[in-house]
Amino acid sequence: MSQLSGRTALVTGSTSGIGLAIAEAFAAEGANVVLNGFGDAEEIEATRTRLETSHGVAASYSAADMTKPQEIADMVAQAEAEHGSVDILVNNAGIQHVAPVDEFPQDKWDAIIAINMSSAFHTTRAALPGMKTRSWGRIINVASAHGLIASPYKSAYVTAKHGVVGLTKTVALETAQQGITCNAICPGYVRTPLVEAQIPDTAKARGITEEEVVCDVLLAAQPTKKFVGLDELGSFAVFLASDAAASITGTALPMDGGWTAQ
């Protein structure tokens, strides 16, 4: 029996990409999961049902908007009511916009800060009381290599991810003696549907092949010249939730093919 059996993991932004891979990994280890995010209602329901039938766990879904603190609080309360607890919180929801600072749309800045950074505060604030009562909890923030270093034209994203790393450290210090850990995973480029969709457009715009886009544009800063695997991220999150990682807290852990080693 897995050590995560009977635990419940709430994963924001988990209807596709990294979040779904992490939710899947927790379900495979016997944890109940709460999905969250936007998407086609039928597809989301199919995913929820598949997780339940494939892994024999309970899976639920919340459509909470990560820009709305009250909806976030309600999502955590609903998860606790349905599953009995929120033991593992994975803050993964995120969006991106690329533009120079002096041309960056103010509404895009506000949305990225809200979804990529502030939502992690609101979920953590709501989930911590229950974790403290049970003297056990795992908070895993999906930051980015951009939580450690910067790239041009991504001011809001870089700011938000640096903020997530700061929040991670503070929460870890506050909960250090309460059986709760808080860590940030900092992935490099991951081949998500979002990234996949950019490849043909970039090839056309630059007049190069899709293979050249991957190697010379997307993975230019990633020494391995390989995308970080979704399964790798899922396994890493499961490890951070395990008893073996009980002494790992307050860290920003790169999983970036050597990007931040340069």
- Assign 3-state DSSP to the chain and report helix, strand, coil percentages, each to 5: 55, 15, 30
Which of 61, 153, 157, 189 is catalytic? The answer is 157
CB 164 within 8 A of CB 184: yes
User: Which class for 244: exposed (0-12), middle (13-18), buried (19 or more C-beta within 10 A)?
Assistant: exposed
CB 62 within 8 A of CB 75: yes
Query: What residues contact residue 190 under an 8 Å CB cut-off, 6+ apart?
Result: 17, 18, 227, 228, 229, 230, 233
**Which tokens sit at 144?**
């980015």
Is 189 a residue of the active site?
A: no
Which residues are catalytic, by number?
Answer: 157
